[in-house]
Amino acid sequence: MSGIAWDKIIGAAAQSTLGILSLGIILIGVLAYLFFGKSDDRVKLWVFAGIFLAVVGLGVSILRESQDPAVHPVAGPTASATPSETASPGPATTTSAAPTGEAPRPAADVSGKWTDTDGFTYDFSVSGARVSYSQFKTADASATPVGSGAGTIDGRKLQYGYVDNSTGDRGQCSGQVSSDGNAIEGRCSSGGSSWSFRIDRAS
C-alpha cells in the first residue's frame, strides 16, 4: 500500500465531477468505519442510511451543477451566428419580384365592320381583351341582328362563343387575325360538326 501514489490518484480524481464524488464516498466510508465500527447493528444501520442518503444527495447536486451551462460554459470556439443574429453591414437591399407570367400581348384592332361571302355583316367592338360582335343579314346596322358572339382576344388570336338568334344554336369559334389586320380566319364547332370561316374587313 505504501507504493501507491495517493497524491496523484487524488489529483487525477479531482479533475472530474465523478472523481470528486468517488473520493467523497470513500472518505465518508472510512470515517464511518472509524467512528462506528464497534457500535451495535442498529446504530450501524442508521449510520449507513444517513451516509447513503447524503452521498445520493451530494451526487445529484454535483451532476445538476455539471449540466448547467451557466455554471460550466462549454469550452471551444463559439457557434457561428445564424443569419437572423448577424447585423447587416449596410442598408438592406430589396430584391425585385420575378414576373409571375408572360404579359398579355397587345390585342389586334378588330373593331368595326366585317363581311363574309354569304352576305352577312359583322359589327365588332373591343374593350381591352374582351371582344363582341353583332351579326346582320344586311349592311344596315339598324336591322335586327341575326346572331351575336362574345369572347376574348390575345394578340391576333380570337376565342369566342356565338349564338344564332333565328335557331338558338350555339357554338364555339377560334380564329386568327391576319398580319395586316384585314382578315380573320378560323374554325367553329357546334355539337358534333365543325366548319371553317373567313371574314374580311369591310372597305
Identify the domain containing residue 165 by its residue range.
112-201
Helix (H) or strand (E) holding 196: strand 193-201
Domain harbouring 120, CATH code: 2.40.128.30
In the block, cell 460550466 appears at 72
Q: Are residues 61 and 121 in the same domain?
A: no
Which of 167, 166, 129, 165 is closest to 149 using CA atoms? 165
Q: How many independent structural domains does the chain possess?
A: 2
| Separation of alpha carbons 132 and 188, rounded Å | 16
Q: Are residues 118 and 184 in the same domain?
A: yes
Name the pLDDT band for 175 (thresholds 50, 70, 90): very high
3-state SS assignment for residue 143: coil
Residue with the bigger pLDDT between 23 and 16: it is: 23
Is 72 inside a domain boundary? no
Name the pLDDT band for 81 (thresholds 50, 70, 90): very low
Is 85 inside a domain boundary? no
Mean pLDDT of the chain: 76
Name the pLDDT band for 78 (thresholds 50, 70, 90): very low
Residue 138 has pLDDT above 60, yes or no: yes
Name the pLDDT band for 116 (thresholds 50, 70, 90): very high
Digit-coded pLDDT (tens) for 48-57: 777 778 777 7
